Structure 1
Amino acid sequence: MDLEPTFAALRALMLDAAADQVVASDQPGDLVLHGRATDPRSGKPVWFGAVTLRARYVAYHLFPLYADPALGAALSPALKRRQQGKSCFNFATLDPVLAAELAELTRQANAAVG
């Protein structure tokens, strides 16, 4: 299965919806965004999100869901089925309706972390 189109779509979605965040790594199959804030304990940048190409799916991580579970309280049942753990969503293909919902969730997370 060719997951490159799904990775490309999710990568573009995250970069667009989280434009305020810092690109920490952008390599083939791997995008990592950090927040502008730093962790007060470690002094390192806080993680915002990641899009990672795996063998059978593309993982979309949205780390603000850990800090503020209310962000994900209104997930549709279809997006909820894609959720793994608290902050990861897995896709082999990307439905336009789910893409729009994920983009809105990412924009809300972006606004929440400032």
Structure 2
Amino acid sequence: MDTVFKTLANIMKKHATQLEVTTDKPGNLYINTGKLDAKKKAIFFGMVKQSKDKVTYHLMPVYCNPELLANISAELKKKMQGKSCFNFKKIDTDLFTELDALTGAGLSDYQRADKI
């Protein structure tokens, strides 16, 4: 499970160069945008969290703009839980590549929406 976490965390971190990494510990990566919302809370971008039996990849831009999910594969869709969460138990290079592209699209969407 550690390798799955590290691989997914690296995908998230790759897109976080303009963002604020608030937690970066083994099994837990949490990233905000650095901007505040109307309630003066940091705008959440994403997180990667390892649990006993899976690694969860939260990507908030797809919650804010579900149109980002319009072209994802059926296989990646099967990994979704809720509106912005993907669960993995093992490395899947194709799905991770797709998730990388989706994360980049989410970052671009947040930039257009002035959330960064």
Q: TM-score range by the shorter chain?
A: over 0.9
Matched, 1:105 2:105: no
1:9 aligned residue = 7
SS of aligned partner of 2:52:
coil
Gaps of 5+ in 2: 112-116
1:57 aligned residue = 54
TM-score normalized by structure 1? 0.93
CA contact (8 A) 1:20 1:110 kept: no
Once residues 21 and 108 of structure 1 are traced to their aligned partners in structure 2, the CA distance between those partners, rounded to angstroms, is: 15
Gaps of 5+ in 1: none
Once residues 54 and 17 of structure 2 are traced to their aligned partners in structure 1, the CA distance between those partners, rounded to angstroms, is: 24
2:90 aligned residue = 93
Using the aligned pairs only, state the percent identity. Answer: 36
TM-score normalized by structure 2? 0.92
1:17 positional shift? 2.8
Aligned alpha-carbon RMSD (Å): 0.9
2:114 aligned residue = none
1:69 aligned residue = 66
Matched, 1:22 2:20: yes
CA contact (8 A) 1:60 1:90 kept: yes
Once residues 82 and 73 of structure 2 are traced to their aligned partners in structure 1, the CA distance between those partners, rounded to angstroms, is: 16
Q: How many residues align?
A: 111
